[in-house]
Amino acid sequence: MHPFSRRHFLQDASKAGIAIAANFALSPHLLGQSSPSNPAQPIRIYADSRRTLAPINRDLFGSFLEHLGRAIYEGIYDPQSKLSDANGFRKDVLEEIRKLGVPIIRYPGGNFVSGYNWLDGVGPKANRPVVLDKAWNTINSNQFGTDEFLAWCRLAGTQPLLGLNLGTGTPEQAAALVEYCNVEKGTRWSDLRHKNGIAEPYNVRHWCLGNEMDGPWQIGHMTATEYGLKAEDAARQMRYVDPSLKLVACGSSGPGMPTYLEWDREVLEQCYDYVDAISLHRYFGNTTEETGGDSSKYLAMNLSMERQIDEVAAVCDVVRGHKRSPKKLWLSFDEWNVWYRARSGAAVNGARQSAPHLLEEVYNLEDALLVGGLLNALIRKADRVKLACLAQLVNVIAPIMTNENGLLRQTIYYPYSWALEFARGAVLDLVVESPTYDVAGMGAVNYVDVAGTYQSETGKTALFLLNRDLAKPHEIQIVWEGSSPRAGDTLVLTGSDLKATNTFESPARVTPQKGEQPSTSAGRTTFELPPRSYTVVQWTA
Ligand code: AHR
């Protein structure tokens, strides 16, 4: 299959009657959210800071930069730009990402990694080969490689999640990259790093063992058993070099795959003992196939992300049982986002140019609302998902876009930035009573979707609320079952036009507004959520 035809593959799969997760029925009761019969009742949320589910690992709000389109070249690295520093790093982009506080960034791919030779991207820049990246039909000058990325990460205040080539690459080459990055000195690859001017080891902890190896579009695509054996071999060799690594095996590319879950099971039967986590990927769209273009169904799609998490976790635990292993794997949701417009034709074919405009999805208000819901799903599942990456970060299916004069915050930037700023501490085990609406193929869905966090050190509580009701506001009543907090600040993302976007010409069509200050008395807080909105409220103790 042609490497650019993943979408068609998925369409074919669904035509052939293969269920995609968006069509699974979901019960709100299974999601811990119950439904009173009277839809006019206020939505009631019971919160108790003593009742938490799990600590939130900051890596839950990571992101992704692939050698794809203008993500690296022109995005974060552009030596010709007036906005760049002496390293060629775009200063405005670096500062934006540093201020956002993105904890971990996956690099260099994605599909790109499965044909990438990391040795092409290190050493004197003048000697690096110009190569054809076959995943995206793009010219790669290799002027930005592992050392540049790891230097950039330090400046951006983030950690790397390095992807390894298990397509055309070998386990030996994977272990060599670990040696290059993490061994102090005195070995072939650590000495090469010294020769390249870097004395200190980088100590990269998190690694992905390949990318979407279940996909026929992937360079080096193979069967689950073949991949499982290769991942096991790579992991073993890598751990000989550095036993402290955290390794993520390549799980299914999504619930639309014909081998969904079976792939994960077979892979883990081979390599369970050698890895720490398995990956999940998922992209959502308000498409005819997925939602029939119905925005109220689209805004419920975060529930199928939650279901995907439960299903993959269940597979991990079945294999754990087979192996009688004391180890419980965690999940790495290392690609997730909305992506459905810039998905075929010229949008994915680099036409053998450098830094072509690929996957430059323009996001609207409803996409941002769903991204808020997807973040809620990740927060609620933080007991199992320890790492996740919004795919991607700059120019390619991204919250941040650049041109030669500056950057633009797309609509999806805002819910992501709120998670980074406010979702801290532990996940609250909330009880939610909400009226519901029926979604074809999904059943009853709560009008209001809620996630919450509590920081014991500061006493701060944050709630993230998606009002899926496209027409009506909803009154919220929070019942504080433990101690009740005082002042609350509210930010709201909403608007009259679900299809409104931000552009370089009109960058503030969709931006957060300060919401009504919620009032608390006798242990209850009340406030109103506008229709089609995503809201964060933060209370101090
Ligand atoms: O993020 C864009 C692409 O989507 C990645 O390269 C691939 O892993 C996924 O299919």
Tens-binned pLDDT, residue by residue, of the chain (541 aa): 233 344 333 333 333 222 222 222 333 333 334 444 455 678 999 999 999 999 999 999 999 999 999 999 999 999 999 999 999 999 999 999 999 999 999 999 999 999 999 999 999 999 999 999 999 999 999 999 999 999 999 999 999 999 999 999 999 999 999 999 999 999 999 999 999 999 999 999 999 999 999 999 999 999 999 999 999 999 999 999 999 999 999 999 999 999 999 999 999 999 999 999 999 999 999 999 999 999 999 999 999 999 999 999 999 999 999 999 999 999 999 999 999 999 999 999 999 999 999 999 999 999 999 999 999 999 999 999 999 999 999 999 999 999 999 999 999 999 999 999 999 999 999 999 999 999 998 999 999 999 999 999 999 999 999 999 999 999 999 999 988 877 789 999 999 999 999 999 999 999 999 998 888 888 999 999 999 999 999 998 7
- The rounded distance, in Å, linking the Cα atoms of 48 and 480 is 6
Candidate from 2, 281, 359 with most ligand 1 atoms within 8 A of CB, to mutate? 281
* Three-state DSSP class for residue 492: strand
- Enter the pTM of the model: 0.93
- The ligand 1 atom nearest the CA atom of 212: 8
Q: b or e along 301-312 (b: 16 or more beta carbons within 10 Å of the residue's beta carbon)?
A: bbbbbbbbbebb
Q: Residue 347 has what DSSP assignment?
A: G
Q: b or e along 173-193 (b: 16 or more beta carbons within 10 Å of the residue's beta carbon)?
A: bbbbbbbbbbbeeeeebbebb
Residue nearest to atom 7 of ligand 1 (CA): 110
Q: Residue 532 has what DSSP assignment?
A: S
- The rounded distance, in Å, linking the Cα atoms of 541 and 535 is 20
335: Cβ below 6 Å to ligand 1?
yes
The DSSP string of 191-223 is HHHHHTT--S-----EEE--S-TT-TTSTT---
426 close to 504: Cβ distance less than 8 angstroms: no
| Residue corresponding to tokens 């998670």 | 419
262 in active site: no
111: Cβ below 6 Å to ligand 1?
yes
36 close to 444: Cβ distance less than 8 angstroms: no
| Residue corresponding to tokens 């792939």 | 263
Nearest CA among 368, 381, 485 for reference residue 423: 381
Nearest CA among 257, 305, 260 for reference residue 284: 305
- The rounded distance, in Å, linking the Cα atoms of 522 and 450 is 22
Residue nearest to atom 6 of ligand 1 (CA): 110
Relative to beta strand 519-521, strand 524-529 is antiparallel
